[in-house]
Structure 1
Amino acid sequence: IVTLALVLASWLHVCCGLSRGASSRVLKVVNAIITMTFNLACLFHILAHGSTRRMNINMKHDVRTAMSSLSIEPFLHRSVCCPKCFAQYAIGDCPDVCPRKETPQSRACGEVLWTTRHGGNGGSIRCSKRLYTTQSFESWLTWFLSRPGIEDAMDESYSHVPSGDQMHSIFDSPAWRSFGAYTSRPGNLVFSYFIDWFNPLLNKIAGKTVSAGAIMLFCMNLPEHLQYLPENTFFAGITPPPKEPSVTTISNVADPVIDQIREFYSGKQIPTHRHPEGFWIR
């Protein structure tokens, strides 16, 4: 029952867009209902059998803790992001002003990275102007390959024989063939990199132009009808609004994602559904 309550609160928060505070209040109310129900049942048991046993349900009251206990909270990397040039800095070791230069001879960016905001208790809080959040690729890949059926679905890409001059799928394409023996060895994965811009305000505010970029990777080893399903998509991150990076600054938001993928260039031992002890993945 407790697990079902945690699933309910997590679903309301993730799928229905309920705020953290409201989701946490739902958990508290459900906890009170369950506790009262069990204690009423115990009261009837006391009247019938003379027992004095009472129950106290110990349920998580924070939706973040609930999601963590269900192992559905993604592992995220957060860094301070310059609002002007999109350079990244560690939260614990971030300068007051962005020192990045496009070239050694260029002037420093000079954008202020911190601001002061007023908290709910009336005090002021020093916080970064922008944060850039990316999802851990290794953590996601472990979850992805641990799902039943994923490795079975990818087997076709390793054993596929091109059908002459006709292309029926990406596996018949010249690009796929150019990888040579790499694509025929189990554990070797191919991903496509996708980034597109959208207005998070959905154009509902007249004259307000806000742009954010969704960075996603799709596993090309899957059959075509599975490649673009949300559950098979690695959602790497969203570039901080309100403006898009330029041609010269886009590498600052792409590099943290690419650096994670580069760690798999030579391969890593990753637990999978078929191989819980670990399998070499490139």
Structure 2
Amino acid sequence: MNEGPHALDIGASTNVAFLEQEEWLLLMFIAVSELGSLGSRTLRKRAAELRTMVTQEWARMQIHKEREWRRQKRTQAECKRTGAAYEMKGWLARLLSRKNIEVVMDEMLKRAVGAAKPIMTDLWDAPVFRELRTEDGKRFVDAPPGESRLILGLSIDGFNPFQNKEAKQDVTVSGIYVYCLNLPPHLRYRPENMYLVGVIP
């Protein structure tokens, strides 16, 4: 199935639909082949025709699969060259792989686990985070040993791409960003710690 030199990454969400279609074609080929060994001569003939159609569709899919594989490789190479994040999970993995970053995040999480402060100085002091519950009724911040509890924020910020140099024009481009609220405020909004989801021209 998803094998060979052009096998797609099964962990990438963008490949799910493609791989599901490939699996469906394989199961269809097996089912039609089994059908061809049963029934009347007419049924076997129709099964052979279906098998040919599925085989042709499979061949077309492999061509598209190779093209998609090459496209993704080019995208990955470009992202590595420019330093851009192409998958959110990749961004999160790189963020968590930094030295001592999880220790810093755990320190912020302790604010929500400890006693409530009379004056809130950060969002982790707010009841909405302190009392956030999971499906089993446990507090979200009460993570078992060796497990992290991450809360991400979403922000949209607009700016003038021409740096106010265009006279008599009101031009705005908006960036959509994801940031990790487990980071302390002085690290939370630094460009290297944020994920650019998209740009609205």
Could you state the TM-score of these two structures normalised by the residue count of structure 2?
0.50
* CA gap 1:209/1:182 in 2 versus in 1, 3 angstroms: same
1:138 aligns with 2:148: no
1:232 aligns with 2:185: no
Deviation at 1:66, TM superposition (A): 8.6
More helix by share: 2
Structure 2 partner of 1:73: 83
Q: How far apart are the structure 1 equivalents of 2:199 and 2:78?
A: 24
Q: Kindly report structure 1 stretches of 4+ aligned residues shifted beyond 4 Å.
A: 64-67
Q: How far apart are the structure 1 equivalents of 2:153 and 2:197?
A: 12
1:155 aligns with 2:106: yes
SS in 2 for 1:195: strand
**Within-5 A mapping of 1:1-282:** 68=80, 73-76=83-86, 136-160=87-111, 161-180=114-133, 181-185=139-143, 186-239=147-200, 241=201
Structure 2: gaps (5+ residues): 1-75, 134-138
Native 8 Å contact 1:218 1:234 kept in 2:
yes
Native 8 Å contact 2:152 2:181 kept in 1:
yes
Q: Percent identity?
A: 32
Deviation at 1:67, TM superposition (A): 7.1
Native 8 Å contact 2:155 2:177 kept in 1:
yes
Deviation at 1:216, TM superposition (A): 1.0
More strand by share: 1
Q: CA RMSD of the aligned region, Å?
A: 2.5
* CA gap 1:75/1:191 in 2 versus in 1, 3 angstroms: closer
Native 8 Å contact 2:176 2:196 kept in 1:
yes
Aligned length: 116
Structure 1: gaps (5+ residues): 1-63, 77-135, 242-282
Could you state the TM-score of these two structures normalised by the residue count of structure 1?
0.37
